[in-house]
Amino acid sequence: MKKAIVGKKLGMTQVFTPEGLVVPVTVVEAGPCPVVQIKNVEKDGYKAVVVAFQKQKASRVSKPSAGAFKKAGVETFRLVKELKFENAEEYQLGQEIKCDIFAEGDKVDVTGTTRGRGFTGVIQRWNQHRLKMTHGTGPVHREVGSMGANSTPSRVFKNKHMPGHYGVERVTMQNLEIVKVDTDRNILLVKGCVPGPKGSVVTIRESKKA
């Protein structure tokens, strides 16, 4: 990986192409992300760049984090993210990574955390069908249904789709297209939808399967 940036999902809108087609896009505030730490093979065993995102009051940052920011010569930030760049040695402490590393038409992978939906049943969680509304079925029509045979094996198999906590999962959308880059406002317009609710943090990196 050579290009990546951390951003915040602002919402969705639509833009028009020169041909007059409507394209749905996700608006992402991408960076600027200052470099806080540079990891190398000799000391850490791998190459990576640690970047920060979203400024924060110094009083709300832990002392170890404040020390790392001071060493890098940058302000205090709320989030710290590690990006495994192949060319990590080319970066310097305090250097800012901005959205201009991407261009219109680039293919990217966007990683985010999906919206939490709490405790849900199998219909919402696993997209199962409800039970029949007639022929003596009920009184509950949205329950799990059969759990398996009684005498053999007399147990519920592992990985059975059951009710439970749904959402708050790390999801990556692949091969999305950059529609527009606004360097003045640090904005990227990504074609289609990306994981997570408004205000959530996402990571945009060059596509692996473009």
The pLDDT tens digits for 85-144 are 887 777 888 888 888 888 888 899 999 999 999 999 999 999 999 999 999 888 889 999
pLDDT of residue 23: 92
Written as one letter, the residue type at 62 is S
Peptide bond connecting 139 to the previous residue in cis, omega within 30 degrees of 0? yes
Q: Measure CA of the first residue to CA of the last residue in the chain; give whole Å.
A: 13
User: What tokens does 101 get?
Assistant: 């590393």
The hierarchical CATH code for the domain 4-115+170-206 is 2.40.30.10
Answer yes or no: is pLDDT of 210 > 80: no
Q: Where in the chain is the domain with CATH 2.40.30.10?
A: 4-115+170-206
Q: Which homologous superfamily does the CATH classification assign to the domain defined by 117-166?
A: Ribosomal protein L3, domain 3 (4.10.960.10)
pTM for this structure?
0.81
Handedness of CA 139, 141, 143, 148 (dihedral sign): positive
Written as one letter, the residue type at 114 is T
